Structure 1
Amino acid sequence: MSSTESTRHPRRPWALPSAVAQEFDPSRVGRGPRRTVRDWFADFTCFGAAVLLGMMGADAISSNPHVSQDLADFDQVVGAFACAAVWLRRRWPVGLAIAMVPVGLASDTAGGAAAVALFTLAVHRPFRYVAWIGAASIAVIPFAYRLRPDADASYGVSIVFGVLVSLTVIGWGMFVRSRRQLLLSLHDRALRAENEAALRAEQAQRLAREEIAREMHDVLAHRLTLLSVHAGALEFRPDAPRPEIVRAAGVIRESAHEALQDLRQVIGVLRGGDTETPGRPQPTLAALDALVSECREAGMKVVLDSRVPDPGAVPAALGRTAYRIAQEALTNARKHAPGAEVAVTVTGAPGEGLKLTVRNPAPPGDVPRVPGSGQGLIGLTERASLAGGRLGHHALPGGGFHLEAWLPWAS
């Protein structure tokens, strides 16, 4: 079960009010709330309180010298029906509270049921209902004590006591309603925070996978292009001198070995689920000389003009980006302009930025067809943009190609 589902479905829904538990159970939306164990306990408690207060009221009305016996019997009958009506408080809280206003006026025994109805109204309905019905309940208190004066207290004291009890019941009910709304608000906030955290984690994972895919493309494209170019040369020149065939076969073997090593490293990172797993040292600008030497050994004509005094002092992230751009540019030149001399120029300083230019003329002869995805330059542009720089490229007159990248270098 996902974390969102566990938030939606708590482990103890029976301990929540039905109005709150329904929010955790989307299957109940649009239908009547199903009573939980807590609801049944609350209903029995309210019924018991109404009966207990009704018995106290019945005892008081029976011993009240101002009330006749027939009126006392009528009072108790009305109170009994009012207590039974408490079970309807969840289904019709407004109707029950309205009905209890005249019932409370006519019967002291129904006082407990009237208090429960008023409390339920304050819990389950907005304040506008509580204000009108509560005001009506308080307004009839003087008339109730005028019809049935209290035997032990004066008329004024009785009115003040009745008003305080009604206000206490209303305030308690509004407090319970506010607490429930607070719980729902906190639940929604927690759910939103959890969803946002899940989205951030998913986005971070997606960005990490894109970074791994980009690295895989940059590394494997360079190796596999060597394989394709030299295999194509052997196919076009089966009568080549033996030393050239041996050198091409050695390049193919070495490139295949390096490609397998890089592929194993990337797969190990993916299986481990940690994009920061250390493997081979990531190349920086200081490794550009080795890259050019490798291309020369593979038969390319590459001229490197590095005007950076200390390539090792270039920040690692900046140097790695520049290295990958140069690697992809040399790979494209090897595929699309074999035999042409490629000029690589690197200039820059802290505060000025790092500028990388790769330029090649048209190939001197026929170009073997090498399959490609066409995503290399798009990936380079995106890589430069993510580093805060820019990359541009265009074809030269006569069939050549020019690529230029600028990357920020903080001082």
Structure 2
Amino acid sequence: MEVSSSNQKTIERVVSQRALQMGSSFPCQICVVGFLCGVCIASLFIAALTSFGTFEFGRVSLSMGITPWNSSSNIISDPNTSIELKETERKQDYDNNSRQEQDGHRIALLYSAWSSMLRESSDVADEFLRSVGLSRSTLPNAPYLENCKLSSELNRRLDNQAKNESFPPWVSWKGALDTHPASSSNEQLKDFWHQETSKGSNPPWITGSDGENYPLTRKVQRDLWIHQHPMNCSDPSLRFLVADWETLPGFGIGAQFAGMCGLLAIAIREKRVLVTNYYNRADHEGCKGSSRSSWACYFFPETSQECRDRAFELMRSEDAWAKEIVTVKQNYTSKEIWAGRIPRRWGNPWSYLQPTTEINGSLITYHRKIDRRWWRAQALRYLMRYRTEYTCGLMNEARHTAFGKEAAEHVLASLGRDWPKV
């Protein structure tokens, strides 16, 4: 028994030493390290799979816990219903695009119809309307277009003496024009109509309140019209100033206006009737007949036709030239025309002007050219008192080009979608 016990201990010792030697060897160490690394990688892989599964399971559980299971969620998840919704949206988009296309066509149709009425003759316009299925009775009026023929006839009646009468209709339109303090300085008008007849009459081409116009505008405009439209153009005491518009190269329309305002001032001071003659900006095919090369192509003439004829008749008379019954622009110096004195028969109305000239941050209440500015405004307002039918047409075309399509859109919006069927 003792031998056996001793042998057993010897064997254990030998095995232990052998195991110790094997553990300390390099190949063994590599195997151990590899085994341990494999255990770690396997552990990490198992842990990752476990976490991912837990996350997916938790997400599904959370989603099912929040989203109620009802009929609406069931419809949305139904693929057939989703297709129906997309088809409905596509149909709505198609309807909207179709409606916009129809509206654009209607706007273009109305704009073209207005264009034909504006630029073509009556017969050509009617033919175009028939070709597009329209007529004058179904065509809405363009709100920005003026009836040029009607307005021209009305203005012509207001600018001439009525039949069997000595005065135009507007002389009976009374108003408080002679209440301004400056009116007390007016000189006696021997060559004008009787002051009592024209007293208080309102010239119809002046619109707005007195506060919206220059001081004494209505009175000055009335007096200018009376001066330029004498009762009897054949009166031997009547004198004339016949003048062409400036035609020198480099003279723009502003310079032409300034020169004619100076000539009108000379005519007022010398008690002459101003008669304008050649106007180069009207020398084109648009100005027809007697209005060719004349200011009367664009605006009503500055005086009556009787006085124009009388002035041109006197220009053929040597005696009229010798007695200076008729004069022309060449009778006056450039200084007299461009920087001469302005009429003072209305006092100093420019002193009532609101100052608008600013120098170094201050408004200047008076300067040496403020009187000339006031006079040029009055002279041009008289010369442009009425537009001719030709100028009215030009203004219609300009407005039509500027906002005709926009106006057509607004007009059609008020008519509804039945036009042009109705």
Please, what TM-score do these two structures have when normalized by structure 1? Answer: 0.21
The structure carrying a bigger strand percent of its residues is 1
Please, what TM-score do these two structures have when normalized by structure 2? Answer: 0.21
The structure carrying a bigger helix percent of its residues is 1
Larger radius of gyration: 2
